[in-house]
Each structure stands twice: as structure tokens, then as C-alpha cells.
Amino acid sequence: MKTLLPIGFVVALAAWGPARAETQILFLTEDVPAGLDMDGPTGSTNTSQTGFINMSEPLVYYAYGPANEEGVRTLDLGKFEGRLAESWEFDPESLTWTMHLRHGVKSCAGNEFTAADVVYSFARAKSVSGQAPTGWFVASIGSIAGFTRDVFKPGADRSLGDAVTKVDDYTVKIRQSQPNRLFLTTLSIYADYPYDSVEMKKHATEQDPWSHVYVNTQNVPSFGAYCLERWVRDDEFVLRANPAYYRGKPAIDRIVIKKVPQTANRTMTLRSLQADLTQRLTTREYNGLRTASGVTVAGIYGNEVLSVGLNFKTPPFDNPKLRQAIAYAIPYEQIARVGYAGAARKMEGQYPRVEHDYMRPATQYATDPAKAKALLAEAGFPDGKGLEKYPDSFRLAYTAEREATLGPIATVIQSALRDVGIPIELDPMPQTQISDRRLVKKDLPMALNDIEKAVGPDVTYATQLYFVSPAVGALNNFVNYNNPEVDRLFREALAELDDAKRTPMVRQIQEIVHQDLAWVPLAETKTEYAFRSNLKGITWHPENSVHFIDLSLQN
């Protein structure tokens, strides 16, 4: 009798439900933006980036490319086109870029975009006044003059100086400190998109002259396709089309982003066609939705990859033969099948294939347990004898919060390595602890990693991020890889603006890094989207956010 009570309660209230409006979409996500300041505490979180990116606009960006076989539109990562900057020229003598800005661009607040906004935004980045200096970091990768580590020294001059100057209202000059071909790549990265300086200055205070608190907690004054309508943290984020957007009013008037943490609920709601778009489901859920009526699932191999990092500073991983033995022991196909139900493919180098300048290295590591055993013996550990001296090294760390995906993969690796004589233990640990040990302490001996994505989709950019030595400006070299030849080639490739001359250099970098097995690359995994079939225009972007300006609804 009692069991019927909740059912009765349900039945009694079942008939109530609202109607839906048109030209708006409901996007179900694992979280909504926690903050909107890209120099703030959540600048490195994808869900926060999605909010910021849709409300702001780059100076330059990539041209659209063709759609892939599943219907996801790609970008032409070798071809920049003007956005807020209409055109530009570079003077190699003075290392100065002259950017000609577009006329008549209006922000959500109605202010016109001018050179003052560009100068303001770079000055804000160089002030390193936010909690995480992301704007400075990206500008430093582009070698903009003065964006060096010196800004962090006590009493350092953090003013912009003459690195970025206004020529007139629609022209700015940006000076570099050295020849660096990544300049345009860095301008395409969200961390250096211009703010509406007029609106920003209205919210500056004495303690917070660069309006970090306002941007992080209230709104992003900028020139993007969408403006903020409503924002309830941990719940929903609603955007409305900017009617004055310079590329024309967006096709969808209103975007409602709703936090639905359970992937099962996102799946069920989309299946019932009460939502329009969702992401980050399990492969099983994506596969289930493929057969649902009115729902499309499409994916693309972007820059999401899975690898194992073996720390060069942790013996015996400084032994190249041992690294190779591990690479030959890995069952790549099984990992793609167990972890991603086939929505993954073997990674054939240290860089995802989508990146500009990617070339497949001649050296390849196929699954070959016999060869792995031979290499293990050559490394001085026949049948694994001698490895017991390093009990702390053979612990495979991975993010505990990602247990559902990474746990089975770690188990596959554990069993494959045991078969060739390399016993390892699994060491799941919380995300915060992994970040601390990987990014700051750089002391994880062996770690499974699926979060590294270079937002600058370019081999040279990724090399600077992960593979050069600290002396050359390594930023995220968490395996402490160090090869002077790679450092030299990187310096040369960075300064080389001529594609024909640069190609052999980047080819050689990719070959060496893969021979050295800086990482043990496991798989490229698909970035997938599930959406109502009348939603068109899904496009892959390097930071893996959906850009709502790309979308339209078909009747």
C-alpha cells in the first residue's frame, strides 16, 4: 500500500508542464561556467571557457574547412582569416605586426570596437593581476615584447609600454621580442580576446583596477555573438544573440545552458527530444542515441588524446630500452575497444593528426609482446628481474574522478605489462592531487593522461607546451623530457616563417620526440556531440567548446 504513495503523488501532478518557445536551444552540460574571467580561477575549465568564448571575439581565427564524414564541420588550421582585425601585415625588420581593425563592430553594451580595446586588453594581460595569468601566458608564447617571466618579480614593471600601441582608432601595432611564427596562433586563443574597455573601466575599483571580480562574477563586456541574459552558478547560463553582431545576427536567438550532472539524464532528456544538444556522455550512451529517432550523434578526431607519461627523472624510466619495451607491450586496439568502444584510434606519433604541421613519424610501435620482452632484456631487466628495486616507480596514476573510463584502460595496461614481465600497481588519485603532482611538482613516475589538449592546434605550439626543456621555456613538460636537439630545432622552427624551410625541422622534431617516447601515446579519442537532428552547423574548435554562432535550426 505504502509503495503506491509516491506513484499516486506522481500521477496527481503529472499533467502540468510548460510549452517551448522557438529559435532557442537547450544545451545540457556537466556544468555551467563557474567564472568568466579567463585570468581568473576557472580560466582553464572547459565549461567556463564555453561561456567566455561565445561572448567574445578574436582578432583573427581559422577559416572554416569542410565537414567530416559524420557531418562535423572542421577548421582549416593552416589558414587564418580576419575577425575583429580585418587585415594585417608583418614587418620582419622591426618585428612589428600592424593590425587593421574592423569598423562598426558593437559590443553587447553598444560601445564601438576600437584600438583602445586592444591596447586595454593586452595591458590587462600583462598586469598579471588575476589569480591565474593566462592572458600573459598566451601572449608570451607569441613573443609579444615585454611578456616575459620578469613581470612576476617583485616590483617589476607590469605596464604595457610600447609593445602594443594605438596608431589610430582602427590600427594597432604589436611588437614581438623575437621572430615567432606562433603570433597569429596565439591571437586565435581565447585568453587574448579583446574586452570592451569602456564597459570594463566602469566596473574597475581601487582594489581591482582591471575588473577581475566583475568579469569573473557578473559579465564579460566584449564583442561576441552572444550576450549574457541570466547566470545562476551551478545551475544555468542563458545567452541572448547580440543583435549588433558584426557578422550578422546569430541564427539562434537564445541559448539555455543547463547543468545536468548525470550523463544518463542528459541522454534520456535528449532522447525525449526535450533538449537540443549535449556532450560528454559515455560511449555506450552515444551508441544508444544513434538509433533514437530525431537524434544525431556525430564525432570527430580532434585534439583529445590518451597517453602514458613516464617520468625521465624517475629511474628506471630514464632507460630508453625500457620505455620502448613498454610501448611495444601496450595493446592499442584493446584500449580503443575497452575504453572507448571503438571511438578511438591508435595515436601514431606524439601529436594528434589534426594539428597543423603534423607528420606521421617513420618510427612506429605496434603491439608486439615478444619484441617487448627482448627490449626489456636489452634494458638490463630480463623477464623483469631487477625491476623490484623500483617499487615506487611502477605505480600508474590516473584521475580517480575518471574511473569509469580510465579504470578499465589502466587495468588493460596493467595486465599487458605483467605479461611481458613488468608488474605495475594502479594508483587512482583525486584530480587536484594529480594536477599538483603533474603541473607543479612534476614528480608522477607513471601517469595515464587524457586531459592534455593544445589549444593552439599547431605542432610547434604543442612542442613548446610539452617537449622542450625548461631553459627554452617548457611550460607543461610534466615528464621532464630534455633533448638538446629538440630544443635547437624548436628554436629554429619557431623563428622560421617560411613554410618550406620549416617543414623539415618540424618533421625532425616529431621523429625524435617519438623515438625518445617523450610520452607513450595510446589513442586519439573522438570528440562527440549528440543533438536533435534539426540542429545544423556543429563545428569542432581546438578548445573543444561549442560556438553557438555556428549553429542553426532547420525546420
CB of 75 to other proteins, least distance (A): 21
Nearest-CA neighbor of 192 among 183, 179, 201? 183
Q: Which residues of 325-336 are buried (b: 16+ CB within 10 A; e: fewer)?
A: bbbbbbbbeebb
Residue 37 touches other proteins, criterion: CB under 8 A: yes
Interface segment toward other proteins; rule CB under 8 A; list 14-22, 113-121, 326-334, 376-384: 14-22
Q: Between 276 and 348, whose beta carbon lies closer to other proteins? A: 276
CB of 108 to other proteins, least distance (A): 20
Site for other proteins in 500-519 (CB under 8 A): none
Nearest-CA neighbor of 267 among 284, 254, 244? 284
150 phi/psi in degrees, rounded to 5: -60, -25
Q: Between 139 and 298, whose beta carbon lies closer to other proteins? A: 139
Site for other proteins in 40-99 (CB under 8 A): 40-44
Among 23, 94, 262, 552, binds other proteins (CB under 8 A): 262
Q: Between 419 and 425, whose beta carbon lies closer to other proteins? A: 425
Contacts of 402 by beta carbon, 8 Å cutoff, 6+ apart: 450
Site for other proteins in 92-151 (CB under 8 A): 128, 130-134, 137, 149
C-alpha cell at 307: 597517453
Site for other proteins in 193-212 (CB under 8 A): 212
Residue 227 touches other proteins, criterion: CB under 8 A: no
- How far, in Å, are 209, 304, 332, 333, 511 from residue 523 at the CA level? 45, 9, 7, 9, 18
Q: Between 400 and 429, how does the x/- string for binding to other proteins read (CB under 8 A)? A: -x----------------------------
Q: Between 18 and 155, whose beta carbon lies closer to other proteins? A: 18
Task: Name the strands in the sheet holding 96-101, side by side, starting at the edge strand that comes first in the sequence.
Answer: 85-91, 96-101, 171-175, 164-168
Site for other proteins in 315-374 (CB under 8 A): none
CB of 361 to other proteins, least distance (A): 25
Among 116, 198, 213, 553, binds other proteins (CB under 8 A): 213
Among 109, 123, 268, 426, binds other proteins (CB under 8 A): 268
Q: Between 43 and 384, whose beta carbon lies closer to other proteins? A: 43
- How far, in Å, are 165, 265, 480 from residue 33 at the CA level? 33, 20, 33
Helix 320-329 and helix 403-420, axial crossing angle in degrees, nearest 10 = 110
CB of 292 to other proteins, least distance (A): 11
Q: Which residues of 49-82 are buried (b: 16+ CB within 10 A; e: fewer)?
A: bbbbbbbbbbbbbbeeeebeeeebbbbebeebeb
- How far, in Å, are 227, 531, 552 from residue 250 at the CA level? 11, 19, 8
CB of 190 to other proteins, least distance (A): 12
Tell me how far apart the alpha carbons of residues 341 and 453 are, in angstroms, rounded to a whole number.
Answer: 21
Among 23, 431, 552, 554, binds other proteins (CB under 8 A): 431
Tell me how far apart the alpha carbons of residues 222 and 500 are, in angstroms, rounded to a whole number.
Answer: 38
Q: Between 167 and 264, whose beta carbon lies closer to other proteins? A: 264
Interface segment toward other proteins; rule CB under 8 A; list 53-61, 105-113, 265-273, 512-520: 265-273
C-alpha cell at 439: 603541473
478 phi/psi in degrees, rounded to 5: -80, -5
CB atoms within 10 A of CB 23: 12
Among 26, 125, 354, 530, binds other proteins (CB under 8 A): 26
Q: Is 152 exposed, middle or buried (0-12, 13-18, 19+ CB in 10 A)?
A: exposed
- Count of residues engaged in binding other proteins, rule: CB under 8 A: 74
Among 78, 94, 152, 366, binds other proteins (CB under 8 A): 152
Site for other proteins in 234-253 (CB under 8 A): 234-236
Among 34, 116, 198, 338, binds other proteins (CB under 8 A): 34
Residue 471 touches other proteins, criterion: CB under 8 A: no
Residue 433 touches other proteins, criterion: CB under 8 A: yes
